[in-house]
Structures are given as C-alpha cells and as structure tokens.
Amino acid sequence: MASVYLAIQESLDRPVALKVLDASFLEDPQFSERFLDEGRIIASLNHRNIITIHDIGIVDSAHYISMEYVEGGDLVRHIAEGVDWEHALDIVEAMGECLHFGHEAGVVHRDVKPANILFRTDGTPLLTDFGIAKRLRATSDLTVAGSVLGTPSYLSPEQAQGKPIDGRADIYALGVILYEMLVGERPYDADTDIAIIFRHLQDPIPKLPRDLKHLQPLLGRMLAKRPKDRFRNAAAMVDFICDLRSRSAPHTMTRPMAIPVSARGPGAERGARRRLPPARLWGAGIWGLSVLALAALSFRLALWPLPNGPSTDSADGSVVSAEPEAAVSPPASDGSAASPDEPTRAAAATSRSVSKPARQRSWREQREKAIQSLLARGDAALEAERLTVPEHDNAYDHYREALRRDPDNAHAERGLRAIARRYEILAEQQIARGNLGAARRYAERGIDVQPLSQDLIRLRAEIDKQIEIRKLLRLAKEALADYRLTTPATRNAYFYYRRVLQMDPNNQRASDGMEAIARRYAALAEGELAQYRYPKAQRYIRLGLKVQPNNKRLLALKEEAQLKNAPKQILKDLKGLFE
C-alpha cells in the first residue's frame, strides 16, 4: 500500500523517513483518506515513545507522510539477537505507557508487533505504523463485517473473531511480544493463518521457563483470552510491572536471554511476515500498512486514581461513612426520622434520642477509627512493597485517603515521604545496573507522590543527564568508526565527545575518545608523510592538535613535517625571487 524512502528535508538539512502511498491506491478515496488519517493520528499523539510526524500532504497527487528517521533497527532484529528479561520489561513498560496515552486519546493501534516497534540510536523504543489504527467513537466498533485487521501471530481472540475491541486488544498483542522476547519464539505459531488464529482462541496461556516464572502472573494477565480478565488498561499493566520489579527483580542475579533466531533452526522465522487472506482484508492491499494505534500512560496523579467513593471499610469490616453528616443524622423538626437511609424505626428513634455532643463524639470516634484503619493498611502495604498498586489496596491510596479525611495527619505525610523515598531507592538501584529508562520511571513515580521532593528532582535531572551522555557516547562511537572525526559539523566524534566532557568533565570514555581521535589523525599524518605529501600531513596534524593540543605523538609529527617540508619551502621562496 505504501513505500518508505530515506529523504533529506532541505529546509532543515535533516534526514526524514518519507512514506508515500502507492499510485495504484490513489483511485480509491477510502485508501487515500485512511493513509492521510494515519499521519493525523500520529501527529495528535505527542509522546516520547511514538514516532514523530513532521508533515503530511499531497503533492502532484502523491500522498506522503514525512516522519522521524530512526536508525536503531526494529524489535524483530533485537529479538533475533536475544533480549534479557529486564530489557524486555523496559520495552513493555515503554510501549504500555504510549499505548495508554493513545487509548486515553481514543486511539487503538490494532497491529502492535515487533516490526512496528523501532529504536532510536539511544535505545528509546518507538511505536510506529498506524496504518490500521482507529479512533474510538461512541458509534464505532473498530470492525467491518466479514473482515479482520491485524497480524495473525499478534491478534487478540476478540479481534480474530471480528468483535468490537478496545485498548485491551493492544495489551494482548504486547503480551505475545513479551513472550517472544523472553523465550525467542511466538507462543501461538502454526503453518497457516487460520491455524494460528485457532491457537489464539483455544490454546492455553503458555508457561514460561522456570527461571522466568516470576513473570508468569504478568504474562497471564496480558494473554487472558477474555478481555475482562486482562489488565483494565495499559496504565494498570505498567503499574503491575513496576510493582513486580520492586518485589522480585532486585533479588535475581542472572539475566536469562531469549534464544537468538539463528540458534532455533530453519523454521524459526516462518510466518513472521504472514498476512491474512485477501478476503479478510479491509480492501485490497491494506495489509502493507499493518500497524495499530497506540495508547500511552498518563502518569500520576491520574495514573493511580485516588479513592473517591463515599465510604471505606473499617477495621472490623463494617462500612464507615466518609463524611460526618452521614454518620448520625440530626433529628428532623417534625420529629420524623432524619434520614430515609436509616434501616429501621428503632435506629431512627435512637438517633433522635442522642444529644448533639454525643452525636459529635460518635462521629469523631468513627472518623478516628476509619483514619487509623487507613493508616494501618497503608503501613502494611508499604511494608509489602505495594506502593501504588494494586488499585485501592496500595500504600499511596490509603495514605491519600487518610489525608483527605485529616489534611494535617503527620503519619500519612510520613507515609507518602516513605513511598517517595522507596521509589528513589528503586531508581538508584536501576542506575547501578545501567537501566536508565527504568530508573527514570521510578523517579517520575516518586515525584508524582512528592512533587516538591528536591532529592527526586535532582535524581531525575541526573538520570536525564546520564541518558543524554549515553546517547552522545553511542553517537561518538559510531562517528569514530565511520572516520567522521571532526566533520561534518555537529555530526562528528569530536563534537559528541566534547559535549560529554562539558556535561561531565571527568568522563573517562569521552577522554579516551578524544585520544582515539588524535591517534587517528596521527596515523593519517604518518601515511601522508610516507608518501611525501607534506601539506596534507600538516593538515591532519593541525586537526589532531585541535582535539588534543598536548598530544606528544602529534607534536613530534608536526616537527618532523616542518623539517621535511623546509627544503621544498626554501626552493619555492627562491623561485619566487627570480620570477
């Protein structure tokens, strides 16, 4: 349906990926509109893990989408090379966040698969290819009679049956991807598309190897056959992963790797690009754009909803009203029962017989009892590492509800600070392991709990700096390998290493990189001197000394080049005298 080209946007002198609708589809207005709608959908979803759209339009009947050019390959390649389980969780978290973002905006992707997850050079995963994405509307069920859109290997049961779908279909596809990253093969594979679909509908949820069994609850929720048995949304899934990390991951020393494709035999990749039969497609050729819409994660305080119901359970299992007016109703002026909600006339009479001070005392006692119950449950959840999940049974929700009832409660305030501190510790643990993406997410969660925490704000800034340094070092290494030593401007090894040293003057990798550039120039200069090309040798020496002014090898070569070039310069000067 479309072809993608590498192009240069001349106005900004930057590479872009240019997606162009095939001419054979221009006669069908449906395909034309669907193609342009893909660009509009992506452009409306501004998220760090969603591909960036630069422009869409029509030029001389050619329909195009100009988007971010990504050089880090796709998840298909990463799976073939092997993905450790912590990295797999990083990818699932990032995709869950952007999918929830999209779902909240009313967009379901419908074709989440490894080929549609690309990577920037700094390792950031990006969801792309929204060719069959759909906006959720009150009158839209995202299906067409007799049609199925999506890739069979990643198709949710309800999607395969042509039923109405929501964001939970994307969660299912992401579960298939998680299993594929962990084990190295798809959970439901077969020789034909129909056989694959039947396996999705009938086969049980696959079991993970023993060394990955701590991830089985996550996989089971993601791959549940019925949507209602999955996570209610992608945000809940991401919260579950964070809680899973905090309780189990820190104690795991080994990091199992998925088996690379090359080690799995000749049939391992069979069906990777399989398509549904033409009769199942929404119009001929729509398959070429197969990728679904996203959803992304709205972070706290919206991420973890605060309890807002009228009541909460007390310690003895009874229901305690959240508001004092509902605790004991005052007597009505006519002597009748004050509240129609009172269960019996006897209860109403008892209420009327209680004096005002007694009623106030009763309310205060019930209120204090409810607050103490909330604090106790908050402490227990904190001890059990249930920081912000599961919903309504986590430390954050309990402490926040206690503060809603008693805004000055010091115990609840200490509890929130303890949650934030725990997230700070988790972030620091991930930094020590080199998992900067996970570290930043933990820092964000801590800031969502305690927005004014200077320690967490500084930690997040430091993580952002380390992420930028890691990106620059990777770009510098690539530039060095390509001999882009000091040119072109802003895309050379010297530029990248210098940026790193500006951010971290003691960065050893950047210092070593500067020395490596100087060595390259010294080697180039020596080659030119051996060929008696002294001016060119001197140019390389000047460039090398710009990088490392005190490099002994380059200084020695500079002196050697001057001595060897001196006779030629003298002859040139004498020749000028006689002309």
The three-point CA angle 181-183-186 to 5° equals: 75
Helix (H, G, I), strand (E, B) or coil at 8: strand
CA 64 to each of CA 21, 67, 130, 289, 398: distance values in angstroms, whole numbers, following the listed order = 6, 10, 14, 13, 51
Cα gap 572→579, rounded to integer Å: 11
- Residue 169: which of 178, 185, 157 has the closest Cα? 157
Q: Which of 482, 483, 519, 480 is nearest to 497 (CA)?
A: 480
Residue 163 main-chain phi, psi, to 5 deg: -85, 165
Ranges assigned E (strand) in 360-510: none
Q: How far apart are the two ends of the chain, measured CA to CA in Å?
A: 71
Contacts of 185 (CB under 8 A, 6+ apart): 259, 264, 268
User: Which one, of 151, 180, 109, lies nearest residue 273 by Cα?
Assistant: 151
Helix axes 436-449, 85-104, angle to 10 degrees: 50
Cα 520 to Cα 355, 525, 551: the distances in Å are 92, 9, 12
Cβ–Cβ < 8 Å for 369, 314: yes
Question: Which run of H or E residues covers position 119?
Answer: strand 117-119
Q: What is the DSSP string of 71-83?
A: -S-BHHHHHHH--
| Residues paired with residue 125 on neighbouring β-strands, in sequence order | 119
Instruction: Report the relative pairing of strands 134-135 and 125-127 from DSSP bridges.
Output: unpaired
Q: Cα torsion for 97, 99, 103, 109, to the nearest 10°?
A: 180
Whether 203 is catalytic: no
CB 72 within 8 A of CB 118: yes
Task: Please give the DSSP secondary-structure letter assigned to residue 227.
Answer: G
In whole angstroms, give the CA distance from residue 468 to residue 452. 24
Pairwise CA distance, residues 181 & 179, whole Å = 5
Cα separation of 172 and 148, whole Å? 16
Any idea which residue has 């929130």 for tokens? 416
Question: Which helix (H) or strand (E) segment is 60 a member of?
Answer: none
> Which residues are paired to 9 by β-bridges?
14
Question: Alpha carbon of 198 to those of 153, 167, 193, 395, 542: distances in Å?
Answer: 11, 22, 9, 42, 68
Give the DSSP H/E element, type plus range, for residue 64. Answer: strand 62-68
Backbone angles phi, psi at 15, to 5 degrees: -75, 145
Residue of 111, 129, 239, 397 with catalytic role: 111
Q: Is 2 helix (H, G, I), strand (E, B) or coil?
A: strand
Catalytic (active-site) positions = 111
